[in-house]
Chains A and B, each alone.
Chain A
Amino acid sequence: MRWGALILALAALAALGLTMGEVRLGLPDLWQGLWGGDGPGALTVRILRAPRMLVALGAGACLGLAGTVFQTLMRNPLASPDLMGFTAGAALAVLAALAAGLTLPPPLLSAAGGLAAAVAVAALAHRRGEGLAPLRLVLVGLGLGFTCAAASAFLLQRLPGPEATEAQRWITGSLAARGWGHVAQVWLPGLALAALLAVQVRALTLLELGDDLASGLGLRAGRARLRLAATGVGLMAAAVAVAGPVAFVALMAGPLGSALTGARGAGARLAAAALAGALITLAADLAARNALPGVTLPLGLLTGLLGAPYLLWRLSREMERGEL
């Protein structure tokens, strides 16, 4: 029932996103545009808004899934790929290739960067005899995020003017000028990785009980963790490649999805997080395009404005409960 409300909200936002903008369209125009009519309204929908909306949906869902995977694996609501610096690493890799004049597919680059960042954070946060304390992981990741962001800013200076402006937008997270090619770029790997994740839901369910018990129940806990983390990095990378390192969607999607749907099991929570991630991204993009007449704000700015207060509230709540 509450799932229905979530899906309905998503559909309503999608319709709103297709009709609102510089050119306002009525529902009939929208209908025509979607089903192959012509005229300026139809072109607006088919060329500009529909792909943008689909990219927002796909990227948001991927980020939601990735965030929930890491939050569940680390048993910590703060352990999301954006806070741990993975998205910043992915963005840095894409930018570095751009600055070096390499033309490789962005999803591969961002996956490589995200993976490198994840490995670096895990290696740096690991201490002999203590293993990986989730909080140290978040702090070290925060530092890696700072470093990668600074390196990205450094590289931005090397790019020629027009590319620099485009890259500057992308680095804060943006859906400007996304076409059907981008839709394929996020949906194809996204769907494949989501399927891969679906197969691992049971492993995630067992890992929630702690590694010892999970091993006792026949799971090779270490390997399962690595596989899940790799899948999470892949999902994150698919989103970053098309939308940039959008802030805090991965962080918020899981808790929001569970709160809205009341989902408990790992599989249901992942599904809810995917929907919630898409919802947040779509809503933020809608606001970014329409909040100020004549100005399109970067998407990442809006998710940052949404996410930071949430994170502050979450921090103070965790502190009251004495868990931080």
Chain B
Amino acid sequence: MSAAPEELRAEGLSLGYPGRMVIRDLDLTLPPGRVTAILGPNGCGKSTLLRACARLIAPLAGRVTLGGADLRRIDSRALARRLGILPQQPLAPEGITVADLVARGRAPWRGLLAGWSARDAEAVDRALAAVAMAGLRDRPVAELSGGQRQRVWIALALAQETDMVLLDEPTTWLDLPHQIEVLRLLQRLNRERGTTVISVLHDLNLAARHSDHLVLLGPEGLVAEGPPAAVLTEPALQRAFGLAARVLPDPVSATPMVVPL
């Protein structure tokens, strides 16, 4: 892990297809060393933005920079050592075991002909321990529950040993306890390792509880960004979702809690 975390910035970023712009002229800084959640209604371009930040899609205009350098200028493998991405529906090869799957996260660190090193093995062990899956390392992934499977995918991203992890809807399809489990895990990684975590989330209240920084997108683009209490306000919700709601302090965590009217 390098000492100084680098910031990810969007500058004049426009995304989409020619003729159908999803994000228009967006300027945004995602703070390093924090847990950030990207929120917004369906179709507002949350996932598109995240994918552009991971260079999975090219901008129509503008650019994304990491530590001041345009993403497009960074070599693929070098980028993969600094920034990990967990897509929405990654594919598990048939019959693969937990440890084998997590080991694939080591790809950017291995030379073309270099074998499996002790460092690779340690990274995998640490990643599995971090998500509490070390005991199930030889199980086929197909046999795991949804929550366990999501933890394995996160472990893959951890084994990649990047300073920054991007996750596209890591809690979708999970039940509430598993959602909380995943979000706590991400928070703990941030506190213990200083990893920058940026994820696309759906649940506003959970996002407020488990993030340091929120980015709220609406149909017209960026609505608000900042600490949860500053972002989740009644007018902002109206603008982003067209939703009439009251915002109350959460009785447990004191973070903002959205109650639709």
Q: Interface residues, chain A, CB within 8 Å of chain B?
A: 75, 199, 202, 205-206, 208-210, 212-213, 215-220, 264-266
Residues of A within 8 A of B5 (CB): none
Q: Are A216 and B87 in contact (CB under 8 A)?
A: yes
Residues of B within 8 A of A266 (CB): 93
Q: Are B107 and A219 in contact (CB under 8 A)?
A: yes
Main DSSP-derived SS at the B contact region = mixed
* Contact pick for A216, options B84, B89, B91, CB 8 Å: B84
* Nearest opposing residue in chain A for B113, CB measure: A199
A166 → chain B, closest Cβ, in Å?
42
Q: How large is the interface on B (under 10, 10 to 19, 20 to 34, 35 or more residues)?
A: 20 to 34
Over the window 72-105 of chain B, the binary record of Cβ atoms lying under 8 Å from chain A Cβ atoms (1 yes, 0 no) is: 0000111111011111011111011100100011
A79 → chain B, closest Cβ, in Å?
14
B231 → chain A, closest Cβ, in Å?
27
Q: Are B108 and A213 in contact (CB under 8 A)?
A: no
Residues of B within 8 A of A206 (CB): 104, 107
On whether A218 and B107 interact (CB within 8 A), knowing A199-B112, A213-B86, A265-B100, the answer reads yes
Q: Are A210 and B90 in contact (CB under 8 A)?
A: yes
B211 at the A/B interface (Cβ < 8 Å)? no
Q: Interface residues, chain B, CB within 8 Å of chain A?
A: 51, 54-56, 76-81, 83-87, 89-93, 95-97, 100, 104-105, 107-108, 110, 112, 156, 160, 166
Give the distance in Å from the alpha carbon of A217 to the alpha carbon of B54 in the complex.
10
Residues of B within 8 A of A220 (CB): 76
Residues of A within 8 A of B78 (CB): 218
* Contact pick for B90, options A75, A199, A212, A265, CB 8 Å: A212
* Contact pick for B104, options A75, A199, A205, A212, CB 8 Å: A205
Q: Are A210 and B104 in contact (CB under 8 A)?
A: no
Q: Are A218 and B77 in contact (CB under 8 A)?
A: yes
On whether A218 and B90 interact (CB within 8 A), knowing A212-B56, A264-B95, the answer reads no
On whether A210 and B76 interact (CB within 8 A), knowing A217-B105, A218-B107, the answer reads no
Give the distance in Å from the alpha carbon of A220 to the alpha carbon of B55 in the complex.
11
Residues of B within 8 A of A216 (CB): 54, 56, 80, 83-87, 160, 166
Give the distance in Å from the alpha carbon of A86 to the alpha carbon of B168 in the complex.
37
Give the distance in Å from the alpha carbon of A219 to the alpha carbon of B56 in the complex.
11
Q: Are A217 and B108 in contact (CB under 8 A)?
A: yes
Q: Are A215 and B55 in contact (CB under 8 A)?
A: yes
